[in-house]
Amino acid sequence: MVVAKVWKTVKPFEGTPKITDFELVEEKLADTLKPDEILIEAVFFTVDPYIRTLNLPTGLPAEQVGRIMESKARDFPKGALVLAHVGWRSHAILNVKETMNLGFKPTIVPKVPGLSPSLWLGVIGMPGVTAYLAFLERCAPKSGDVVIISAASGAVGSMVGQLARAKGCKVIGSAGSKEKCDWLLHLGFSYVFNYKTTSVEEALTQAAPEGVDIYYDNVGGEFTDAVMSHLKPNARVLICGQIADYNRTRDGVPNPFGRILFAEAQVRGFFIFNHLDEFPRVRKEIISLVQQKKLQPRETITNGFENMAQAFIDLFKGANIGKSIIKV
Amino acid sequence: MVVAKVWKTVKPFEGTPKITDFELVEEKLADTLKPDEILIEAVFFTVDPYIRTLNLPTGLPAEQVGRIMESKARDFPKGALVLAHVGWRSHAILNVKETMNLGFKPTIVPKVPGLSPSLWLGVIGMPGVTAYLAFLERCAPKSGDVVIISAASGAVGSMVGQLARAKGCKVIGSAGSKEKCDWLLHLGFSYVFNYKTTSVEEALTQAAPEGVDIYYDNVGGEFTDAVMSHLKPNARVLICGQIADYNRTRDGVPNPFGRILFAEAQVRGFFIFNHLDEFPRVRKEIISLVQQKKLQPRETITNGFENMAQAFIDLFKGANIGKSIIKV
């Protein structure tokens, strides 16, 4: 019989997690496996900030690389390593056909010479896939772009910075110690600052006087407030983490960026005066729609040039329906 | 000699524009035209809310349809109608080769049977082109999408609603009077509410219980605050106007959506657990990058399962560099 060691929480977290929030208990596992089940022993775990925000009925979530000790499942041989999202437990029995926490499925870790299996929890795991998908495939980086990354020495941020560097971007990173900043410079970051001693405002004024093209945000809060004033035209902002802001409200209004993150919403600004060259093309389309009666224009017409100021004032009273026009 | 009537501001606007902010003066124009110049007489003007926010050295901006009274410019014959962005003036002399206010160029208004030349200031003009480009080409509308539009009976909003309807969307509109709401229903809006008597929260709870796919925002402020809690996954939010919010700060922080608008920034959220099916494809790419030494992974390893809780706690102190891993 196998006895698993299991970390549990004694009570819900309040503020920053404390050691007294946790207890280590033992759990006896079943003696025999059913079809499609495997027994695994943990080899590596990952811990990530998102765990703080989840309160799963199955306990604390965490992904692990485990070794298969016994198997009744095809393609999951004894001795192989497997990625398993079964929580903070030293041993576990799982059915390989069932999805685990957060929708993950058990996956064999291939043997790749020179690569530690632990990397499947990091650069080749959730943080790495996050950086790749969110930065490369959603931020449209191109050579010469100025990129700023919050929490740049973390698992996601450090990979985003390297991917940006490889794309020929100018990469600005923020971290919280000299050791972290030094490492980021070693990775090829163009400009690094310690947010504990240098403000975002100071850093961007110095390192990105013309503004930033891409802001990859792992943090939120005041960092975001400051960066928003330094966006170049057509800047891309990727909201990946909001540690500083998940629960913050302003004047009682919840942080909109947290809601943008979880909805994976896309928010974009539009300023018509940047698009004057599009007018001829679009006008043709609209004329056709109006002629086909697919668009019904409506005008509120004020007669007389001498009444133009009043017509303008009336706009702010909502007096017009459709377009406000002055007929001279 | 032609004497132009010209509207001027006596002083900068404070709050909502008042009639005492304006004066109507006369200006004598030059007696003869230079090459490439035309003399025009205004026929139609448009007034738009954006005028409130601009303080041009050339005076109050406004686009007009003017009739050419005299011409020394090729392709701008006497008697033709021309779009001219020369401000609040009854007559003007302009050089057709020079750009006018906000980058506009003089453009001949074609004669199209059945279409009033004034439409070139509305549905076929700046508001219409805005709606077309911003909604159709930036919001990715598709049949069945739930769309909410603030200031839906305005020049832009009413056109967005009709374009959305033509795409098969369910269109929800907000306006400020019964007459406006009735018109929107006549245009085919699915649900209309008067924001003066019904809150956005109430309206969306009733009309979009499953949330909204597209929010086309002409207003900002509390309207936006409320809609943000009703975004569906992958929702699109188009920030077109922020009348309620251009100058608002919260806890001293300027409205980020105003800055998103003027930068035409794209902000998007990313939530990795929605993308588990992408892991196999991306893992292959990352493994290759690591093997080519284009990505340098770094791990902070804690030894011992019994130290896992402490390693998790240390995350929030920023103790790790790169990925935090527990080796059992």
Task: Quickly state the pLDDT bin for B254 (edges 50, 70, 90).
Answer: confident
Determine, for residues A308 and B187 on separate chains, whether the beta-carbon distance falls below 8 Å: no
| Average pLDDT over every residue of A188-210 | 97
Query: Which own/partner contact pairs does B254-258 have at CB distance under 8 Å and 24+ positions apart?
Result: B254/A228, B254/A229, B255/B220, B256/A224, B256/A225, B256/A228, B256/A256, B256/A257, B257/A256, B257/A267, B257/A269, B257/B217, B257/B220, B257/B224, B258/B220
3-state secondary structure of A218: coil
Interface check for B178 against chain A (CB to CB < 8 A): the answer is no
Does the pLDDT value for residue B146 go beyond 80? yes
Separation between Cα atoms, residue B18 and residue A83, nearest integer Å: 68
Q: Would the pLDDT of A246 be above 70? A: no
The mean pLDDT of chain B is 94
- Mean of the pLDDT values across residues A82-93? 96
Q: Within an 8 Å CB–CB cutoff, is residue B196 touching chain A?
A: no
pLDDT at A53 over 80: no
Looking at residue B261, its pLDDT comes to 92
- Taking an 8 Å cut-off on Cβ atoms, the answer to whether B313 and A283 are in contact is no
Helix axes B178-186 and B155-166, enclosed angle (nearest 10): 30
Most distant CA pair in chain A, distance: 94
Radius of gyration of chain A (CA): 27
Give B34 to chain A, closest Cα distance, Å.
Answer: 26
Does the beta-carbon distance from A321 to B132 stay under 8 Å? no
Q: Does A319 touch chain B (CB under 8 A)?
A: no
Q: Is B205 exposed, middle or buried (0-12, 13-18, 19+ CB in 10 A)?
A: exposed
Q: Do A260 and B231 touch (CB under 8 A)?
A: yes
Residues in chain A within 8 Å Cβ distance of B309 = 7, 17, 19, 21-22, 24
pLDDT (tens digit, 9 = 90+) per residue, A107-160? 999 999 999 999 999 999 999 999 999 999 999 999 999 999 999 999 999 999
Contact of A146 with A173, CB cutoff 8 Å: no
Residues of chain B found within 8 Å of residue A201, distances taken between Cβ atoms: none
Window A:209-268, CB contacts with B under 8 Å: 224-225, 228-229, 231-240, 250-251, 253-254, 256-257, 259-268
Higher pLDDT, B48 or A15: B48
For B214, residues 6+ apart whose C-beta sits below 8 A from its C-beta are B135, B139, B141, B145, B146, B147, B148, B164, B169, B235, B236, B237, B238
CA distance A179 to A268: 37
CA distance A148 to chain B (A): 14
pLDDT (tens digit per residue) in B208-250: 999 999 999 999 989 999 999 999 999 999 999 887 766 667 7
Residue A55 pLDDT:
66
Shortest CA gap B234–chain A (Å): 5
Burial A178-196 (b: 16+ CB within 10 A, else e): eebbebbeebebbbbbebe
Q: What is the mean pLDDT of residues A82-111?
A: 94
CB contact under 8 A, A122 and B46: no
B228 to A254: CB separation less than 8 angstroms, yes or no: yes
Interchain CB distance below 8 Å, A266 and B234: yes
User: What pLDDT digit, counting tens, does each position of A137-150 carry?
Assistant: 999 999 999 999 99
pLDDT at residue B207 in the model: 98
- The pLDDT confidence band at residue B93, using thresholds 50, 70 and 90, is very high
The dihedral built from the CA positions of residue B47, B48, B49 and B50, taken in this order, carries a sign that is negative
pLDDT at B246: 63
The DSSP symbol for B276 reads G
pLDDT for position B55: 66
* Beta-carbon separation of B163 and A295 below 8 A: yes
CA-based max dimension of chain B? 94
A75 close to B (CB below 8 A): no
Q: Residue B201: how many CB atoms within 10 A of its CB? A: 14
Q: Would you list the DSSP string of B245-256?
A: TTT-EETTEE-H
Spell out the residues 6+ positions from residue A80 whose beta carbon is closer than 8 angstroms to its own: A67, A68, A108, A109
* Domains along chain A with CATH numbers: 3-121 (3.90.180.10), 139-269 (3.40.50.720), 274-327 (no CATH)
pLDDT at B152: 96
- Whether A318 has a pLDDT exceeding 90, the answer reads no
- Residue B74 sits at the chain A interface (C-beta within 8 Å): no
Q: Are A169 and A189 a contacting pair, CB within 8 Å?
A: no
CA distances, A115 to each of A75, A109, A119, A120, B300 (Å): 22, 11, 7, 9, 16
> What pLDDT sits at residue B317?
86
Find the mean pLDDT for residues B101-123. Answer: 94
CA distances to A131, A150, A291 from A238, rounded to whole Å, are 10, 11, 41
Q: Is A268 close to B225, i.e. CB distance below 8 A?
A: no
Contact (CB, 8 A) for B134 and B163: no
* Shortest alpha-carbon distance between residue B222 and chain A (Å): 9
pLDDT higher than 80, residue B51: yes
Q: What's the average model confidence in pLDDT over A273-290?
A: 95
Chain B residues within 8 A of A266 when measuring between CB atoms = 234-237, 266-268
A52, A237, A272 ranked by CB distance to B267: nearest: A237
CA distance A36 to chain B (A): 22
A324 lies within 8 A of chain B by CB? yes
